[in-house]
């Protein structure tokens, strides 16, 4: 994956995700955990926090007209027909609680903003390269630590039914290296070109 990481510090007034307490540490952070997903088309509750992190890119996506449908075919994503909200937008996230601070890693999938696509071992799954951000929450403020790119596994409507472990995105936090590690699996096959290690405090 091409290097699209940059170290940025930007202050903002975004509330931390409501479902995460900032009063206790995340247990066993080095264990691989599946990421969580939010529908950002009409964000509510916790999804509003992630939509706020991505507001500039959501505005960019919303400003562009949807692709014209192929004659005789419906749009793949019916949400693209919405006149309000953020058509076709979703994200995955992974959080680590440091008691007084919360680190949130998030990747956005929205029309017109994902830059590349890798060959997929499964016809029902697209492997897209989309915007990624790492934000640090403290009290009612956050700092954007990394603004880069990461993979997003997008299941298609025709995807066959498979067990929950077959296609997944997982993240762990290396305490010694102070870095997030991301791995991807499609139909039980590792996708090495998508794997990443992201330092919590990048030096460049």
Structure confidence by residue, pLDDT tens digits, 28-57: 899 999 999 999 999 999 899 999 999 999
Residue 204 belongs to a domain = no
Residue 1 belongs to a domain = no
Cβ(96)–Cβ(26) below 8 Å = yes
Residue 1 has pLDDT above 70, yes or no: no
**Cα–Cα distance, 190 to 178 (Å, whole number):** 24
**58 token code pair:** 């959501």
Task: Answer with the residue of higher pLDDT: 82 or 143.
Answer: 143
**52 token code pair:** 């706020």
Residue 98 belongs to a domain = yes
Residue 154 belongs to a domain = yes
**Cα–Cα distance, 156 to 124 (Å, whole number):** 5
Residue 149 belongs to a domain = yes
**Cα–Cα distance, 181 to 198 (Å, whole number):** 6
Per-residue confidence (pLDDT) for residue 71, from 0 to 100: 53
Q: Which domain holds residue 143?
A: 11-63+75-199
Q: What would the pLDDT profile of 56-101 be if each residue is shown by its tens digit?
A: 999 999 998 766 554 554 454 544 444 568 999 999 999 999 888 8
Mean pLDDT of the region 186-201: 96
The count of structural domains within the chain is 1
Residue 68 belongs to a domain = no
**Cα–Cα distance, 161 to 151 (Å, whole number):** 22
Residue 47 belongs to a domain = yes
Residue 5 belongs to a domain = no
């Amino acid at each position: 994956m091409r290097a699209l990481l940059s170290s940025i510090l930007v202050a903002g007034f975004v509330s931390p995700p409501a479902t995460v307490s900032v009063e206790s540490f995340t247990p066993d952070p080095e264990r691989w955990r599946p990421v969580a997903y939010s529908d950002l088309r009409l964000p509510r509750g916790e999804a509003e926090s992630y939509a706020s992190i991505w507001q500039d890119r959501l505005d960019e996506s919303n400003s562009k007209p949807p692709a014209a449908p192929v004659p005789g075919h419906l749009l793949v994503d019916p949400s693209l027909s919405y006149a309000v909200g953020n058509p076709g937008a979703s994200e995955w996230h992974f959080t680590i609680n440091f008691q007084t601070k919360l680190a949130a890693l998030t990747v956005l999938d929205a029309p017109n903003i994902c830059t590349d696509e890798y060959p997929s071992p499964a016809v029902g799954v697209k492997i897209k390269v989309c915007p990624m951000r790492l934000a640090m929450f403290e009290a009612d403020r956050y700092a954007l630590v990394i603004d880069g790119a990461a993979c997003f596994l997008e299941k298609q409507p025709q995807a066959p039914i498979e067990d929950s472990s077959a296609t997944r995105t997982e993240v762990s936090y290396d305490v010694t290296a102070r870095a997030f590690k991301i791995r991807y699996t499609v139909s039980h096959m590792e996708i090495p070109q998508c794997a990443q290690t992201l330092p919590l405090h990048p030096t460049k």
